[in-house]
Copies of this chain bind each other. A is one copy, B any other.
């Protein structure tokens, strides 16, 4: 798929899907495909596999390829499969992008390199993404997630990279809606900004984002899709009501309880969440209770489907 095609389809709600593990801690392709079967009946535009919610950094490069391979086998071609390919080094990222393309990824999403923070100048970040985009067989999506990396991809760098023929958009999880607005205004028409969290989906849409790539989409695809529709229809009251209702569930499956919270929420919905990999810790029982109450109050436990 070319950049314009990807950019055209990079709208609406994408699930940043978690990677299921067996109780022994091994990648569990069966539960991944059964989850994807459920999500296939939800109003999603596609999936990001092996992002932060996919515990990518806790998997080996080979395991990551297997995750994408297993997913592609059940994700139809009318839904985008975007695979995380970011590694610390440029050479490893290039290799991973090529492998992901070979097993069927429509695009790759690449987190900012971040270990050598003080050296990750705008020039270094720009060079990195250019080299990755030059070599990647599929379009590249930028990924800025300062809460995890300590690096907020600068506006000017985003704008410069937005002119690359193989860079289709950005997932911005920083929550700086002014930056989102400036990218939407100043970048090329077919460069798409996606909200990286459902907590600021409506504000991001109001600033010109095309949609969201979010953890919450795994447990609330319906309400999120309705929010986007209400926004487009100019029904700002409905959009606001949905957005405000989803704030607490969103926090619960992201910053408050983390990936362990997201997986526990899936378990509560009858999907498979399962354990996280250490050093992440499982959700304590009392937090599990809070999570259940939050999901129930937002009406998210009625959507339960058997896996």
Q: A127-B278, A236-B206 are in contact. Are A199 and B178 (CB under 8 A)?
A: yes
Q: Mark A183-216, 1 if CB is under 8 A from B, else 0.
A: 0110000000000000110111111100000000
* Stretch from A35-43, A76-84, A100-108, A110-118 forming part of the interface with B: A110-118
Kindly list chain B residues whose C-beta atoms are within 8 Å of the C-beta of A121. Answer: 281
* Stretch from A88-96, A159-167, A285-293 forming part of the interface with B: A88-96
Q: In the complex, which residue of chain B has the Cβ closest to the Cβ of A260?
A: B119
Whether B175 and A200, one on each chain, are in contact in the complex, defined by CB atoms closer than 8 angstroms, is no
Whether A208 and B244, one on each chain, are in contact in the complex, defined by CB atoms closer than 8 angstroms, is yes
Quick one: which of B89, B255, B277, B280 contacts A278, CB cutoff 8 A? B89
Whether A127 and B279, one on each chain, are in contact in the complex, defined by CB atoms closer than 8 angstroms, is yes
Q: Smallest CB–CB gap between A26 and chain B, Å?
A: 10
Q: Smallest CB–CB gap between A211 and chain B, Å?
A: 15
Kindly list chain B residues whose C-beta atoms are within 8 Å of the C-beta of A280. Answer: 116, 119, 124
Give the residues from 54 to 90 in chain A that come closer than 8 angstroms, CB to CB, to chain B: 57-60, 88-90
A contacts, CB < 8 Å to B: 25, 52, 57-60, 88-92, 113, 115-121, 123-125, 127-128, 131, 147-150, 175-178, 181-182, 184-185, 199-200, 202-208, 231, 234-236, 239-240, 243-244, 247, 251, 255, 258-260, 277-281
- The contact sample of 27 A-B pairs, CB cut-off 8 A, is A52-B115, A52-B116, A57-B88, A89-B278, A90-B279, A113-B279, A115-B149, A116-B148, A116-B279, A118-B255, A118-B258, A119-B281, A121-B281, A125-B279, A128-B278, A128-B279, A177-B200, A185-B244, A185-B247, A202-B206, A203-B206, A205-B206, A206-B206, A206-B243, A208-B240, A234-B234, A234-B236
